[in-house]
A and B are shown apart, each in its own frame.
Chain A
Amino acid sequence: EPEVTQTPSHQVTQMGQEVILRCVPISNHLYFYWYRQILGQKVEFLVSFYNNEISEKSEIFDDQFSVERPDGSNFTLKIRSTKLEDSAMYFCASSETGQGEETQYFGPGTRLLVL
């Protein structure tokens, strides 16, 4: 069964450094998403992406964050200057369409630790 994959599984970085989290969505899906889950807290929506544009973003997704689809398969989340509070599990997801009725399929996550 097709699945969303993410790399790396774990990333440790120093505060102020840039990180890029990578995702390969399911191949025929058109909408891509990033969510994060701070330890012990809810899963929070960051951003959705369709047709090479941001479709929707949350208040969390400020100027420090950016997303990109650099080629036909990868979808990336960049954090320009990491802060301690960026430490979290970051999940990528994809869906066939962006309609509210569609299932979003999640990857296994990247655990980011900012020191």
Chain B
Amino acid sequence: SQQGEEDPQALSIQEGENATMNCSYKTSINNLQWYRQNSGRGLVHLILIRSNEREKHSGRLRVTLDTSKKSSSLLITASRAADTASYFCATGQAGTALIFGKGTTLSVSS
């Protein structure tokens, strides 16, 4: 079954630095979505990229999608302490279910 797997599992950076997280999946997809989860809280939708798109921007976020490699990356530029959270990729296929990866835990220190 399709599966999003993030890499790295954990990332620690300083404020102002860029953070890059990667996601790989196994089967063809309709879209790939990135979510953020603050500790013990709900999932906040960040960005959706469709299978026919290669790059998308939203504020300080940049997402790329390479369907030939079945991978996506999330770049957060000029990170802030408030960006500290877990980040998940989730893939959508023909059905309604989103399949989530294990997530990358990002820690941004000031």
Chain A residues engaging chain B, CB cutoff 8 angstroms:
31, 33, 35, 41-45, 48, 50, 55-56, 58, 89, 91, 93, 98-109, 111
Contacts of B44 in A (CB 8 A): 106
B28 CB to nearest A CB, Å:
11
- B43, A106: Cβ atoms closer than 8 Å: yes
Q: Is the CB of A103 within 8 A of B101?
A: no
Query: B residues bordering A, Cβ < 8 Å?
Result: 29-31, 33, 35, 40-45, 48, 50, 88, 90, 92-103
In the bound complex, residues from chain A placing their C-beta under 8 Å from that of B31 are: 100-101
The 10 A-B residue pairs with the shortest CB-CB distance in the complex, in nearest-first order: A100-B30, A108-B42, A45-B97, A48-B96, A106-B43, A43-B100, A100-B92, A98-B96, A56-B96, A109-B42
- How many angstroms from the CA of A35 to the CA of B43 in the assembled complex? 11
